[in-house]
A = this chain, B = another copy of it.
Amino acid sequence: MMRPADYEVISGGVTAVPGTLASGVSCGLKEKGKDLALVCMDKIAAAAAVFTTNRVKAAPVMVSQEHLKGGVAQAIVVNSGNANACTGVEGLQDARRMAEITAQKLNILPRHVVVASTGVIGVPLPMDKIETGIERAVAELSPQGGRAAAEAIMTTDTCVKEYALRTEIGGREVTVGGMAKGAGMIHPNMATMLAFITTDLNISSKSLRKALSTTVDRSFNMITVDGDTSTNDMVVLLANGLAGNPVLQEFGNGWQEFLDALEHVCVELAKMIARDGEGATKLVEVRVLNAQSAEEARKAARAIAASNLVKTALFGNDANWGRIMAALGYSGAQFNPDLVEVSFASNAGREVVAMNGRGINFSEERVENILRNDTVQLIVDLKEGEAEATAWTCDLSYDYVRINADYRT
């Protein structure tokens, strides 16, 4: 379904898309580095978003949900260093004020501003710093600002996460760009994960919403770092229509092309998040093949990807397929344990380690060699049906513990 050959990967992240400006500045929310990002469209755009399923929702999540009810937006303001979560009525007022200040400086409506925050929970937002930051960010908006914005949304991330591609949709050249932050508290159903995606496609708000939710289920909802779902997650998608195609509707001409392009961008960003999981030494791709249904495949892949025992074994380059079988067993997926085949793969080759639900003779040395790689695959063939799914995670290392045991990081 994914046809990367049709895409031209380009630089620029969210600002690769025509009509999009961005900036990233420092306003003192974090000890060092940029901590306030702004993305702004030339015109009002169709907008869709997916939010955390956590019952404890940060103030910016509530405000953005409210603002996006109309299905349109023009700007996104994001701060790192402070989550504005568990901050009560004042937190809600602060999040609203962030939108108002941004709207005022950009001369747009407050309800056309999406607000996001990430960082420490339970500390009031220092609004004076935020205000200074927004002012500075508006002044620095630029068509080359994508990278600075991507830097400003980072917390414990060790690298900038952005991606953009150009492709043809319904006969028109269309660009899709995005940026994300991840690191800890990452788990299916939106984790401490922020992703902002832009496109110049001309599409209805309703169709955009459909496209995003479909795509998120196959990308961001298939990554897990530590099984913790955060209070602040959101994925926001803005489409400004500058590509000039006839308004795209669900199942219309170019619909599948758009889904594919969007999925490609989301999967690339999701993989960057998984690879950069706190303390990670490798990206782990869990592929479940030949399941009875896509839902069964997803359940199985996610449970294996979320297992602490599987993840620590991978840190040790240990071919512990028994832990994979155990995770599969409690995943809730339907399968016959006596049919399962498990193999490990990477650039160094592929080795089957279990067939018909039982261990077979395999070279531990060869598997260790396969696993000693920065991208590895666990392939679980259920031999039940024809559906498949992929989940992404990272290994669980000493550094995960170090990073999370020390509240000063």
Q: Which A383-409 residues sit within 8 Å CB-CB of chain B?
A: 396-398, 400-402, 404-407
Q: Interface with B: A104-112, A287-295, A321-329, which one?
A: A321-329
A24 at the interface (CB under 8 A from B): no
| Inter-subunit contact B401/A401 (CB<8 Å) | yes
A320 to B231, CA, bound (A): 14
| Inter-subunit contact B55/A337 (CB<8 Å) | yes
A396 to B185, CA, bound (A): 15
Name the B residues within 8 Å of A321 (CB-CB). 121-122
| Inter-subunit contact B122/A88 (CB<8 Å) | no
| CB of A298 to closest CB in B, whole Å | 16
| Inter-subunit contact B83/A322 (CB<8 Å) | yes
A396 to B396, CA, bound (A): 11
| CB of A155 to closest CB in B, whole Å | 13
| Inter-subunit contact B56/A328 (CB<8 Å) | yes
Q: Which A295-334 residues sit within 8 Å CB-CB of chain B?
A: 306-309, 312-313, 315-316, 318-323, 325-331, 333
A330 to B321, CA, bound (A): 29
A127 at the interface (CB under 8 A from B): no
| Inter-subunit contact A322/B122 (CB<8 Å) | yes
A83, closest chain B residue (CB): B322
A257 at the interface (CB under 8 A from B): no
A338 at the interface (CB under 8 A from B): yes
| CB of A393 to closest CB in B, whole Å | 12
A354 at the interface (CB under 8 A from B): yes
| Inter-subunit contact B55/A309 (CB<8 Å) | no
A396 to B120, CA, bound (A): 20
A91, closest chain B residue (CB): B358
Say yes or no: A338-B88 contact (C-beta < 8 A), given A228-B307, A309-B228, A330-B55: yes
| CB of A360 to closest CB in B, whole Å | 9
A357 at the interface (CB under 8 A from B): yes
With beta carbons under 8 angstroms apart, the residue of B323, B358, B406 that contacts A228 is B323
A47 to B322, CA, bound (A): 30
| Inter-subunit contact A315/B405 (CB<8 Å) | yes
Say yes or no: A330-B229 contact (C-beta < 8 A), given A55-B337, A405-B312, A405-B316: yes
A309 to B183, CA, bound (A): 12
Known: A55-B337, A312-B405. 4 other contacts (CB 8 A): A88-B358, A121-B326, A315-B401, A316-B406
4 A-B pairs closest in CB distance: A121-B322, A56-B329, A316-B405, A312-B404
